[in-house]
Amino acid sequence: MPWAILWELLLPPICLGCERLLRSAAIRGLCSQCAPLCPPLAADLRSLGGITACYAYDGPLARALQQLKYGGAAGWAGPLGRLLAAEPLLRAAGDGRRWDAVVAIPRQRDRRRRYGLDHARLLRHHALAHAGVPTRERVALVRVRDRPAQVDLNAAARRDNMHGVFAVAQPAKIAGRRVLVLDDVTTTGATLRAARDALLGAGAAEVGALALLRTPP
């Protein structure tokens, strides 16, 4: 039995906004009352600086992500991953060619210990499972430096803060390949761009960037 189907049997889908049980697994993680509160991003905000995002960091989605990220509520990774699974970029680039690998931004070691999980990797796993894409990670994107939190930094400071943070564990696995890198939230794009630079520096032929939520500019 596919992993995603087994997960649905054990934990039926619930609404990200009100936590009611959803009648159909095809619904994008929100009931008919909560869905209008979480519209997809407008076209002019979806793709900025080469980074695509699906929804605004606001309302029920922001609250669910905060519970996953800082509250250890791993159960929210499934409904949030379902939202990512509906994004066409997860399966293929704009030219229709599928990605050779999909990797998540790794969480800092101290924060994994503090909160007990790596939220972006959980989102990646659930998104790929719901999308019917193999979930095995073939490319290891790693943090070689831990940095202070980005939340209170301006755009220039965020870029400097993320410089040299990421590396690829086995560059031979990435040479000439097309890779999509995932994160939960993008604000200035500094984290995803730093990861993209590391992947391209390791020999990737193309690197796309996708986040579930975007902090409004």
pLDDT in tens, 119-165: 999 999 999 998 988 888 777 898 887 655 545 555 555 555 556 78
More confident residue, 13 or 70: 70
- Range 158-183 average pLDDT: 83
- Of the pLDDT bands very low, low, confident and very high (cuts 50, 70, 90), residue 5 is very low
Report percent pLDDT > 90 for the chain. 48
Choose the weakest-confidence range: 79-88, 106-115, 134-143: 134-143
In whole numbers, what is the pLDDT of the chain averaged over residues?
84
pLDDT for res 24 = 60
Choose the weakest-confidence range: 18-27, 53-62, 165-174, 207-216: 18-27
Question: Contact 93/170 with Cβ under 8 angstroms?
Answer: no
Query: Structural domains in the chain?
Result: 3-214 (3.40.50)
pLDDT for res 178 = 95
Residue 169 pLDDT more than 80?
yes
- Of the pLDDT bands very low, low, confident and very high (cuts 50, 70, 90), residue 2 is very low
Choose the weakest-confidence range: 5-14, 53-62, 116-125: 5-14
pLDDT for res 13 = 72
